[in-house]
Amino acid sequence: MFEEAERLKKERGEDAVLDLSLGNPIEEPPVAFLDSLKAASVESLPGTHRYMNNAGYPETRAKVAELVSREQGVPLTEANILMSCGAAGGLNVVLKSLLDPGDEVIIFAPFFAEYIFYADNHNGVAKIVESDENFQPDADRLEEAVTEKTKAVIINNPNNPTGVVYPPTAIRQLADILSQKALRFGHPIYLISDEVYRHIVYDDVALPSVLREYADSIIVTSCSKDLGLAGERIGYIAISPNLEGAGELFAACTTTTRTLGFVNAPAMMQRSIRACLDARVDLGLYRRNREVLCDALVQAGFRVVKPSGAFYIFPQSPEPDDVAYCSLLREKGVIVVPGSGFGRGGHIRLSYSVEHQTAVKAAAILAELR
Ligand SMILES: Cc1ncc(COP(=O)(O)O)c(C=O)c1O
């Protein structure tokens, strides 16, 4: 999509292309981060730029542990935290550590498409389970899908591509099913919660604590979206202290961080974020864009589940062929992604991580082409 948008911009001119295809955070990092980065850049203690423990600097992991303990209501220490090269790196490290060949990894559709490749990277098999019509996990379908080969379930909350937030009740229900199945099959089934959009929420919604609800859970997240640092590749893995074999999994993730070739998360970023883990990008623009687009789509008669988080909307496509509808939009200069790329055809994904005028103009064209 990135290349296609660039090609169209060259062909038609920047202003003629309204690109709502990318999950690239448009908000700049907060001042607290920039100050911290400046301070980190002049540190000159011996060893500042050397290799470190593959899990990351203990000081940074301790700060992250404080943050996650507060958010999850479960006490963690640096022994539960590994720094990663973004959430993408973290997810690969966790899957490499957990999966044996042929293990199944359950993913709810619509999904972040990379999950399928990440499972495949480590000889796992992605098993797709449809979420319900409001894009919430479907408990009955999950129950049917879990087999003795199920090693893990990945959830993404708030969700890309739908923007919905799974409430605590939904996580409790998942946790009950997974606990029963784990007991029946005689091995743990891990819940991997990708929380890269955790701090990008708009309504007064309660975010669940997976660590409190389910012992065998792992959070993978990053500073890509909430600190606007997607290009800096910094994130972390939080392993539940109550997970069976938490210490072994920590050791495995330390090793796979090395063997997958990451070696460690970027040192400068680890030193920079530890003083500003509570800072956030400004959500004002995302909030305004969400309102403009949702209002226009609803008024024009699109079926929309209003998103409470992330910066995506996933409306039904007016044409059942979502790829054809995206081509039609592209002819009018609006670039969005077909839902079939996320495992749910007949829908389109709009990213509203764009300038406000782009959202306003795109809203008008979408309403026209309903
Ligand atoms: C749901 C989801 N998970 C993971 C990632 C990857 O995040 P990172 O840039 O931190 O690797 C993204 C990026 O868009 C995402 O949307």
The yes-or-no verdict on residue 103 having pLDDT over 90 is yes
Cβ of 309 below 6 Å from ligand 1: no
CA 75 to chain CA centroid, nearest Å: 23
pLDDT single digits (tens) 211-255: 999 999 999 999 999 999 999 999 999 999 999 999 999 999 999
Query: What are the angstrom distances between the C-alpha of 108 and each of 115, 155, 187, 217, 314?
Result: 10, 7, 22, 17, 15
Cβ of 156 below 6 Å from ligand 1: yes
Cβ of 112 below 6 Å from ligand 1: yes
**Cα–ligand 1 centroid distance for 351 (angstroms):** 14
Residue 88 Cα: closest atom of ligand 1: 11
**Cα–ligand 1 centroid distance for 196 (angstroms):** 6
* Ranges 40-44, 77-81, 295-299: which has the least confidence: 40-44
The yes-or-no verdict on residue 88 having pLDDT over 90 is yes
State the pLDDT confidence band at 283, using cuts at 50, 70 and 90.
very high
The yes-or-no verdict on residue 7 having pLDDT over 80 is yes
The yes-or-no verdict on residue 5 having pLDDT over 90 is no
* Segments in the chain forming alpha helices (H): 2-12, 31-41, 58-72, 86-98, 114-121, 139-145, 168-185, 210-213, 246-259, 267-273, 284-300, 322-331, 356-368
**Cα–ligand 1 centroid distance for 95 (angstroms):** 15
Q: What average pLDDT does the segment 141-166 reach?
A: 98
Q: What average pLDDT does the segment 6-25 reach?
A: 90
The yes-or-no verdict on residue 336 having pLDDT over 90 is yes
Residue to probe by mutation, ligand 1, list 222, 233, 281, 342, most atoms within 8 Å of CB: 222
The yes-or-no verdict on residue 3 having pLDDT over 90 is no
pLDDT, position 44: 87
The yes-or-no verdict on residue 15 having pLDDT over 90 is no
**Cα–ligand 1 centroid distance for 198 (angstroms):** 12
The full DSSP string for 316-360 is BPSSS-HHHHHHHHHHTTEE-EEGGGGT-SSBEEEE--S-HHHHH
Q: Please check whether residue 275 is in contact with residue 243, taking contact to mean a CB–CB distance below 8 angstroms.
A: no
Q: Please check whether residue 309 is in contact with residue 197, taking contact to mean a CB–CB distance below 8 angstroms.
A: yes
- Of 212, 207, 208, 209, the C-alpha closest to 242 is 212
**Cα–ligand 1 centroid distance for 214 (angstroms):** 23
Instruction: Give nearest CA residue, ligand 1 atom 13.
Output: 23
Mean pLDDT, the chain, rounded, equals 97
Cβ of 22 below 6 Å from ligand 1: no
Residue 90 Cα: closest atom of ligand 1: 11
Cβ of 137 below 6 Å from ligand 1: no
Look up the CATH superfamily of 2-27+282-368.
Aspartate Aminotransferase, domain 1 (3.90.1150.10)
pLDDT single digits (tens) 337-354: 999 999 999 999 999 999
Beta-carbon contacts of residue 225 (< 8 Å; ≥ 6 apart): 23, 25, 196, 197, 199, 200, 281, 310, 311
**Cα–ligand 1 centroid distance for 4 (angstroms):** 21
Cβ of 194 below 6 Å from ligand 1: yes
204-226 burial: b if 16+ Cβ within 10 Å, else e = eeebbbbbbbbbbbbbbbbbbbb
**Cα–ligand 1 centroid distance for 114 (angstroms):** 9
Cβ of 351 below 6 Å from ligand 1: no
Q: Please check whether residue 22 is in contact with residue 364, taking contact to mean a CB–CB distance below 8 angstroms.
A: no
**Cα–ligand 1 centroid distance for 301 (angstroms):** 31
Q: Please check whether residue 217 is in contact with residue 193, taking contact to mean a CB–CB distance below 8 angstroms.
A: yes
The answer regarding whether domain 36-273 maps to CATH 3.40.718.10 reads no
Residue type, 354: V
Give residue limits of the domains in the chain: 2-27+282-368, 36-273
pLDDT single digits (tens) 173-194: 999 999 999 999 999 999 999 9
Strand partners, 129: 108
Q: What average pLDDT does the segment 148-156 reach?
A: 98
Structural tokens at position 260: 């997958």
Distance between CA atoms of residues 322 and 163, nearest Å? 19
- Of 192, 196, 198, 195, the C-alpha closest to 243 is 192
Tell me whether domains 2-27+282-368 and 36-273 share a fold: no
Q: What average pLDDT does the segment 47-55 reach?
A: 96
Structural tokens at position 331: 């002819």
User: Does pTM top 0.85 for this prediction?
Assistant: yes
Question: For 30, which DSSP code?
Answer: P
The yes-or-no verdict on residue 2 having pLDDT over 80 is no
